[in-house]
């Protein structure tokens, strides 16, 4: 059947590349980030992030957690619930100088129908032969943050294990390292986050037996025998922020970030042949550290409009409530895309001490 051939061929193409080919959007699910707070600020948090979600924005911020231990959860959906994005993280203070954290992220589409075996040996339809499978990406992230001898200067790093699963058709495993730094002095905050400084490699393995029925007479059958390695090139995020005391009870915090991609030209506000610079800005209003209102602008793109080039951007809104160690954050965002409708994203954090002495 031409349709089933197309479906399986699309799955193979989506995970296939020749050895050591650079793919701009490899592991792109990690670039979505986590935490409704940061998403509502358009990701402008590399200098100010200070909770368990720091792993994704700047792991040096793990040190600023107010309690000994912190848990974080998030669930988001797109495309009418078709794509699900889930996060679980824990941050733990080892001592006065260092923190460790562990995070798990899953982005996937479930209950996809596989109709390759729809016909029985006599050529008759048999819907009982249809099986469901999932296409999902997983990241397991181990993080470490440590204070330096310079007051206000902290360092952080991530070690990432990537697992990608295309049902029975293909699987991949990958490894990568991030590094980050934060510096705070009085009302000023500075941060830098280098993603995939090791260059993150994904090693794919295709299931030739599951796919051979599709490629028995197809010229693309050689895809099943190639050594497949996807590469994620390094990127750098720089951020600067400042606090403004509007009153005794109200504080405003404004941050500007710039993410620099080194994998070639992309559709962004500033783009060259070898790099792309994507700016974002976010503002948070903190009332007595109890209620937070947030606003962010990011994802600036140049879009052709007849004889003109127009600049489009993504606005985001958010709210937060903090009470007795619990923080509930909300973001109205489209999670990094101008092509889909906005989503309601909620995340929950809880900070606590394991004993009363800490």
Residue 298, token pair as written in the block = 């990011």
> CB neighbours (10 Å) of residue 189?
24
pLDDT of amino acid 8 = 41
Q: What is the mean pLDDT of residues 193-216?
A: 77
Looking at domain 2-352, its CATH architecture is: Beta Barrel (2.40)
Per residue, the 3-state secondary structure of 188-226, as one string, reads EEEEEEEECCCCEEEEEEECHHHHHHHHCCCHHHHHHCC
| Maximum C-alpha span of the chain | 80
- What are the two backbone dihedrals, phi and then psi, of residue 21, each rounded to the nearest 5 degrees? -85, 135
pLDDT of amino acid 340 = 53
Q: Tell whether the model's pLDDT for residue 264 goes beyond 80.
A: no
Q: What is the pLDDT of residues 274-324, one digit of tens each?
A: 778 889 999 999 999 999 999 999 888 877 777 777 778 889 999 999 999
pLDDT of amino acid 69 = 95
Q: Which residues contact 227 (CB under 8 A, 6 or more apart)?
A: 19
pLDDT of amino acid 244 = 96
Q: Tell whether the model's pLDDT for residue 266 goes beyond 90.
A: no
pLDDT of amino acid 2 = 40
- Among 194, 177, 334, 190, smallest CA distance to 260 is for 194
Out of 11-25, 117-131, 303-317, 338-352, least confident range: 11-25
Q: What is the pLDDT of residues 99-127, one digit of tens each?
A: 999 999 999 888 777 766 666 666 666 66
- Residues of the chain with pLDDT > 90, as a percent, come to 51
Distance CA 16, CA 335 (A): 26
Question: Which residues, listed in sequence order, are joined to residue 305 by a DSSP beta bridge?
Answer: 308
Cβ atoms of 162 and 176 closer than 8 Å: yes
pLDDT of amino acid 189 = 97
State the chain's mean pLDDT as an integer.
83
Q: What is the mean pLDDT of residues 64-91?
A: 88
pLDDT of amino acid 353 = 87
Secondary structure class of 82 (helix, strand, coil)? coil
């Amino acid at each position: 059947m031409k349709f089933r051939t197309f479906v399986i061929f699309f799955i193979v193409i989506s995970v296939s590349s020749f050895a050591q080919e650079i793919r701009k959007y490899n592991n792109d699910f990690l670039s979505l980030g986590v935490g409704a707070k940061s998403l509502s600020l358009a990701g402008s948090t590399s200098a100010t992030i200070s909770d368990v979600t720091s792993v994704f924005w700047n792991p040096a911020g793990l040190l600023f957690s107010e309690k000994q231990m912190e848990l974080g959860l998030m669930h988001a959906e797109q495309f009418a619930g078709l794509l699900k994005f889930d996060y679980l993280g824990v941050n733990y203070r080892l001592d006065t100088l260092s923190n460790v954290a562990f995070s798990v992220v899953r982005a996937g589409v479930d209950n996809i129908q596989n109709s390759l075996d729809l016909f029985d040996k006599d050529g008759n339809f048999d819907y009982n032969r249809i099986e469901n499978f999932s296409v999902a990406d997983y990241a397991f992230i181990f993080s470490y943050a440590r204070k330096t001898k310079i007051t206000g200067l902290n360092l952080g790093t991530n070690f990432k294990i990537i697992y990608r699963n295309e049902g029975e058709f293909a699987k991949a495993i990958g490894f990568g390292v991030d590094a980050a730094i934060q510096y705070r002095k009085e009302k000023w905050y500075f941060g830098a986050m280098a993603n995939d400084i090791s260059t993150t490699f994904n090693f794919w393995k295709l299931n030739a037996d599951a796919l051979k029925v599709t490629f028995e007479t197809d010229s693309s059958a050689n895809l099943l025998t190639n050594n497949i390695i996807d590469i994620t090139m390094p990127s750098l995020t720089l951020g600067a922020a400042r606090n403004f005391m509007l009153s005794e009870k109200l504080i405003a915090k404004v941050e500007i970030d710039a993410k620099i991609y080194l994998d070639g030209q992309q559709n962004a506000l500033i783009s060259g042949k070898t790099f792309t610079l994507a700016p974002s800005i976010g503002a948070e209003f903190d009332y007595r550290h109890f209620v937070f209102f947030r606003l962010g602008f990011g994802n600036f793109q140049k879009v052709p409009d007849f004889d003109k080039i127009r600049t489009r951007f993504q606005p985001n809104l958010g709210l937060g409530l903090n009470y007795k160690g619990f923080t509930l954050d909300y973001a109205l965002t489209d999670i990094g895309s101008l092509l889909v409708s906005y989503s309601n994203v909620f995340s929950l954090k809880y900070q606590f001490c394991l004993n009363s002495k800490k």
